[in-house]
Structure 1
Amino acid sequence: MKKFIPIITALIITATLFSSFVSSTESSPEGMVVISGGTSLIGSNEVFEQEGPVHEKVTKSFYMDIHPVTVAQFRTFVQETAYETDAEKFGNAGVFQMEIGQWTLVAGANWMFPQGPKGANAKDNHPVTQVSWNDAKAYCKWAGKRLPTEQEWEHAARNGGLIKTAKYPWGSDTLMKDGKYQANVWQGAFPLYNSVKDGYKYTSPVGAFGESPLGLEDMAGNVWEWCENWKIPYDQSSEPFVPKAESEKAQRGGSYLCDPMVCHGYRVSGRSGSTPETSLMHVGFRCVKDIPNN
């Protein structure tokens, strides 16, 4: 009978872990999923210096929004709080003029009119854009959440650390699968020619390109997403940091403006950043939430 004890014990442990996982999943706040903690690689030594050096980090479990905050969700926040975004206060925001391949400040551009008053209205099921880091923080606080750190964001993009070497959150190095694009990014020759083969010149509806193995949407392309931390070199992250006027908050995930020959930001290790008050037509955010007693 003794030889069966290890087997029975293993079965009990497995059942307990499964039950714990199911319970955790069922108790997730609406619109969020559990990102299980663990060890994951952060960064890359292959493309841009700002992504290195590769290092390991241990991340605690947390909840993460399934998709970037949408225009409809942000509108509810504004209606309930009378919040005024930085772009509205400044009276302008950054718009990339595709016809000339340049960024310009456009008067009247804001979260409702990402390309300015003469452009199309922001669609309810698309990610909200033209929101600054300050705006994103305010929304997350209102929602009882917070912005993710870069470490948390990449841990989630790497499917809880399971992706070691693949470039993209779907676990491969190719942008297409079964003849279909897996993300809303730039196709063509940036900045003057976009073939729009993926179907979207600007933002796409959240979830239009499916979900990652963890159930997350738009973890590559569509919009860059604000993170909590300052964008500083990884090898300086343990040193005291005093932000300056030009210091940037980190962004992750890439956007519909990302060309693999230029920024290739939609890789799991891709990094960008902007100053906290900056609003751009290809930057949004999603929130995370701590798991109690984790």
Structure 2
Amino acid sequence: MVYVPGGVVHVGSTRGGPDERPVFAARVRPFFLDRRLVAVAQFRRFVESTHYVTDAERFGDAGVMDPDTGEWVLVSGATWHHPLGPGTPPAPDDHPVTQVSWRDAAAYARWAGRRLPTEVEWEHAARGAVDSRAPYAWGDRLVVAGRYMANTGELAATRDTVHMGEPDPARRAARQHPSADDGHLMTSPVGAYGETRLRLSDMGGNVWEWTDSWYRPYADRDAPYVPTPASERVQRGGSFLCSTDFCHGYRVSARSHATPETASFHVGFRTAADVPEPGDHR
């Protein structure tokens, strides 16, 4: 883990989506954050030690995007060790674990003696703990000196896509084919794209990351909140599916969300921990 200094961060963006506004200032206490996403091998040690059964394993299916239609489907037998389903290659040990729900991620964090970061902590860390206003955790551009800084879903448009001028982003994405210009079509090994100034990797792209925060409008952040069965948890960081003309989710201010039991092939997590108070000898 790395130490993330405390400070004031301005959360959100005036140039992002509606759920990224209004921008607000928050004071963050120092904390520790995993340098890297939790990898498949790490999650396997947790499962073998505790005999834990994930939500996807209990339900019998999990979410995968159909590359031909651009639509999400529930694939029977898709789990953390075979994210695309039975009969497909197993997830490599050094790739981020996916097909884990928020409840699975929280269980792992408890086992490790840690917790999930809040979305404010996550954005503070992504902004380098200095309230950087760069759009990405690494700076201003996705490609620097010909090198991709993250594993994202850059899409190569077909002639039909250009000709049709499809206005619907989801349909437009379905009429495009993925490019491996950044080196990977799907997940990549954790840490493969370098580190930020705080020595954090994959703070944009690869997989979305669960946070401990409930998803709600920033305008309501100080209002009392009672979760319901339909309430969702915030995800941060974007994934290998995100592109500038689809969701642009690898920006530091971008948000996604899902219910706590949802598992998908492009969502993982990292853990956080509190900095002990003076005199705390835990």
Normalised to the residue count of structure 1, the TM-score between the two structures is: 0.87
Q: In the alignment, which residue of structure 1 is the partner of 2:165?
A: none
Deviation at 1:100, TM superposition (A): 2.1
Task: In structure 2, list runs of 5 or more residues that go unmatched.
Answer: 158-172
- State the Cα deviation string for residues 51-81 of structure 1 (Å, max 9, x = none): 1111111101000000110000000000000
1:171: Cα distance to partner? 2.1
Distance, in Å, in 2 between the alignment partners of 1:121 and 1:154 is: 32
Structure-to-structure mapping, 1:112-191, within 5 angstroms: 112-164=81-133, 166-172=134-140, 174-188=141-155, 189=157, 190-191=173-174
CA RMSD of aligned residues (A): 1.0
1:99 to partner: Cα distance: 2.1
Instruction: Indicate conservation of the 8 Å contact 2:10/2:131, yes or no.
Output: no
Counterpart of 1:199 in structure 2: which amino acid?
G
CA separation in 2, counterparts of 1:42 and 1:286?
A: 20
Following TM superposition, by how much is the alpha carbon of 1:170 offset from its aligned partner in structure 2, in angstroms? 0.8
CA distance in 2 between partners of 1:119 and 1:219 (Å)? 28
Deviation at 1:187, TM superposition (A): 1.1
Q: Give the Cα–Cα distance (whole angstroms) in 2 for the partners of residues 272 and 291 of structure 1.
A: 27
Is 1:292 aligned to 2:271, yes or no? no
**Cα offset for 1:241?**
1.2
- Confirm or deny that 1:70 pairs with 2:39: yes
Question: Aligned partners of 2:16, 2:33: CA distance in 1, in Å?
Answer: 27
Q: CA deviation at 1:45?
A: 1.4
Once the two structures are superposed, residues 150-198 of structure 1 have per-residue CA deviations (whole angstroms, 9 ceiling, x without a partner) of: 000000000003412x1000122x1111110000001114233111111
- Equivalent residue, structure 2, for 1:252: 236
Query: Where do 5+ consecutive residues of structure 1 fail to align?
Result: 1-31
Aligned partner of residue 245 in structure 1, secondary structure: coil
Runs ≥4 in structure 1, deviation > 3 angstroms? Answer: none
Alignment length, in residue pairs? 261
How far apart in 2 are the matches of 1:244 and 1:120?
37
Larger radius of gyration: 1
AA at the equivalent of 1:109:
A
Query: How many Å separate the matches in 2 of 1:231 and 1:283?
Result: 16
Separation in structure 2 between the aligned mates of residue 245 and residue 139 of structure 1, nearest angstrom: 22
Give the aligned partner of residue 6 of structure 1: none
Distance 2:230 2:266 in 1: 20
Alignment check: 8 A CA contact 2:16 2:253 kept: no
Amino acid at match of 1:151: V
Letter in 1 for 2:192: A
> What SS class does the counterpart of residue 120 from structure 1 fall into?
coil
Select the residue among 181, 187, 193 that pairs with 1:209. Answer: 193
Q: What are the within-5 Å matches in structure 2 for residues 206-245 of structure 1?
A: 206-245=190-229
1:17-56 equivalences under 5 Å are 32-56=1-25
Q: SS in structure 1 opposite 2:106?
A: helix
> What letter corresponds to residue 55 of structure 1 in structure 2?
F
Q: CA deviation at 1:243?
A: 1.7
TM, length-normalised to structure 2: 0.91
Q: Which amino acid aligns with 1:269?
A: S
Amino acid of the structure 2 residue aligned with 1:196: A
| Identical amino acids, percent of aligned pairs | 52
Match of 1:17 in 2: none
Q: Matched residue of 2:22: which SS? A: coil
